[in-house]
Amino acid sequence: MALIADRIEYPETTPAYYQSCPENWWKRDEGFRCPEQSFPITKETQSQLEMIFNGLVKKWKAETGGSSLTTRRYAHPSYQSILVLGGKEPEVVKLILKELQRSPDMWFEALRHLTNENPAKDAKSFELSTKAWLKWDREKHK
């Protein structure tokens, strides 16, 4: 199962720099970070990023929320779009962690891929996984 969609379309409000990376950069062995990304986050771009993220989350939850199949949830285009967006903009990890705290859901795979870490690897339940990631966030962003 591919973790990244071959193509992603952002809403018209997407700042141009989200689309500034070379085409298919995520298919290379460079992980999920766009190598050319080095743009500072301003209040305006943070607001736009949150709007895009929240729209993708809303669609993902509406279309997969009732599914117990994690592969279906992870393969959903909105989840994949969040992964791509997170690869271009590291602030997405903070948004995912904020969403995980506000409304726990299946964010573990996205967090693992975007951070290259897995503090929940020994967790035996959804609740313990959530707690492990939130603890990681508190320790990482003191």
Domain annotation covers residue 1: no
Domain annotation covers residue 15: no
Domain annotation covers residue 72: yes
Domain annotation covers residue 68: yes
Tell me what pLDDT residue 40 has: 61
Provide the residue range defining the domain that includes 136. 40-140
Domain annotation covers residue 87: yes
Domain annotation covers residue 62: yes
Domain annotation covers residue 26: no
The pLDDT profile of the chain, 142 residues, written as one tens digit per residue, is 333 333 344 443 344 434 444 454 444 444 444 444 445 667 777 888 899 999 999 999 999 988 878 888 888 999 999 998 888 788 999 999 999 999 999 999 999 999 999 999 999 999 999 999 999 999 987 7
Tell me what pLDDT residue 44 has: 78
Instruction: Kindly report whether the global pTM for this prediction surpasses the value 0.75.
Output: no
Closest CA to 60 of 109, 19, 16: 109
Domain annotation covers residue 17: no
Structure tokens at 62: 């509406």
d(CA 131, CA 135): 6
Structure tokens at 131: 């707690």
d(CA 21, CA 58): 26
Tell me what pLDDT residue 41 has: 65
User: If DSSP codes are grouped into helix, strand and coil, which group holds residue 86?
Assistant: helix
Number of domains in the chain: 1
